[in-house]
């Protein structure tokens, strides 16, 4: 994986991998960090570029804290690059002088798992296999993709490790949770309609009832929006390269991903509300 999700908790755990303030020097070096900053196109944020040099942990923390607010995609590239650099230096191997410590590895692993990422003891990173999850564990993993989609991260539109996109995966999860099963051969509008129905959300198939709450109009619009976005998907390219039809503008694709995140989040929130009744 060349990108991983980034959050405040992940940043806190990640900088511990390069923090050698309490020990003798260990790699990755400042030069290694600079290489990763250049690779992620974040060298312009580097506090060591013009001012007085700061330690590796503070240096990385400053850059990631800026990037998580201003350049999420490159923050994700940098985070993955740092893990790869630490791994290459032997940071995940106990016998290495650059070993970062079992606690630091465990803390980062715990921070990544809710975002749908598994960190191996050897430093390998891989997506959680969603097909092996169910119930609240699957809900939690899907929320990780939802959070990234809401930031416009385009690969969040594809649920890594499955043949489904995010909206389809959320719809299938809702139907499975509330009805116990779902027909795998149903088309996307049909599956989404079942999920909306299971969540007591209105679809265009349901006639307007006089005096109904205005949220019903919103729900119908969200259903239509999701179906429209699904029609913009490049079905021949699912899971490979750009997931959108070739003539879709970048700004349109970003808006589509953010809308997927917003609709999927509402569905998961409504699912949780039904569980708690």
3-state secondary structure 21-82: CCCCCCCCCHHHHHHHHHHCCCHHHCCCCCCCCCCHHHHHHHHHHHHHHHCHHHHHHHHHHH
Q: pLDDT value at position 141? A: 84
Q: In which band, very low, low, confident or very high, does the pLDDT at 1 lie, cut at 50, 70 and 90?
A: confident
pLDDT at 132 over 80: no
Give the separation between CA 260 and CA 263, rounded to whole angstroms. Answer: 5
Give pLDDT tens digits for 184-237. 789 999 999 999 999 999 999 999 999 999 999 999 999 999 999 988 886 654
Provide the residue ranges of all domains of the chain, joining segments of one domain with +.
Answer: 8-127, 131-275
pTM to 2 decimals? 0.75
pLDDT of residue 22: 59
Length of the chain in terms of residues written: 277
Give the per-residue pLDDT at 237.
Answer: 47
pLDDT higher than threshold 90 for residue 152: no
The span from the CA of 40 to the CA of 50, in Å, is 19
Closest CA to 195 of 258, 271, 138, 93: 271
Residue 145 has pLDDT above 90, yes or no: no
Cα separation values, 182 from 90, 140, 191, 264, 271, Å: 46, 20, 8, 18, 16
What local confidence, expressed as pLDDT, does residue 238 receive? 47
> Mean of the pLDDT values across residues 89-108?
94
Question: E strand or H helix at 126, and its extent?
Answer: strand 125-127
Rounded to the nearest 10 degrees, how much is the dihedral formed by the CA atoms of 2, 254, 71, 157?
Answer: -30
pLDDT higher for 259 or 113? Answer: 259
Asked whether the predicted pLDDT for residue 241 surpasses 60, the reply is no
Q: What pLDDT does residue 227 have?
A: 94
Q: Is the peptide bond before 28 cis (omega within 30 degrees of 0)?
A: yes
Average pLDDT over residues 153-162: 64
Mean pLDDT of 172-181: 94
Q: Give the position of tokens 């990640």.
A: 14
Which pLDDT score, from 0 to 100, does residue 240 have?
44
Residue range 90-99: mean pLDDT, rounded? 94
Helix, strand, or coil here: 131? helix
pLDDT of res. 126? 86
């Amino acid at each position: 994986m060349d990108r991983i999700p980034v959050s405040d908790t992940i940043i806190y755990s990640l900088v511990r991998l390069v923090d050698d303030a309490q020990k003798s020097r260990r790699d990755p070096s400042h030069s290694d960090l600079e290489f990763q900053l250049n690779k992620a196109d974040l060298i312009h944020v580097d506090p060591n570029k013009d001012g007085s040099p700061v330690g590796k942990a503070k240096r990385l923390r400053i850059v990631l804290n800026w990037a998580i607010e201003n350049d999420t995609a490159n923050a994700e590239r940098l985070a993955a690059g740092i893990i790869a650099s630490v791994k290459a230096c032997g940071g995940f191997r106990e016998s290495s002088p650059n070993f970062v410590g079992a606690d630091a590895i465990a803390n980062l692993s715990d921070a990544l798992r809710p975002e749908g990422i598994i960190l191996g003891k050897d430093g390998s990173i891989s997506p959680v296999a969603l097909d092996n999850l169910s119930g609240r564990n699957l809900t939690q993993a899907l929320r990780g993709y939802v959070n990234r989609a809401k930031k416009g991260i385009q690969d969040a539109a594809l649920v890594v490790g499955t043949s489904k996109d995010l909206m389809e995966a959320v719809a299938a999860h809702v139907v499975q949770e509330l009805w116990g099963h779902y027909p795998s051969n149903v088309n996307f509008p049909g599956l989404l309609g079942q999920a909306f129905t299971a969540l007591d959300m209105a679809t265009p198939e349901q006639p307007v009832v006089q005096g109904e709450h205005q949220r019903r109009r919103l729900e119908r619009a969200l259903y239509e929006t999701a179906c429209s976005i699904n029609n913009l998907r490049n079905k021949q390219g699912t899971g490979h390269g750009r997931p959108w039809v070739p003539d879709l503008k970048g700004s349109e694709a970003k808006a589509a991903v953010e809308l997927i995140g917003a609709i999927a989040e509402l569905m998961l929130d409504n699912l949780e509300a039904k569980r708690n009744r």
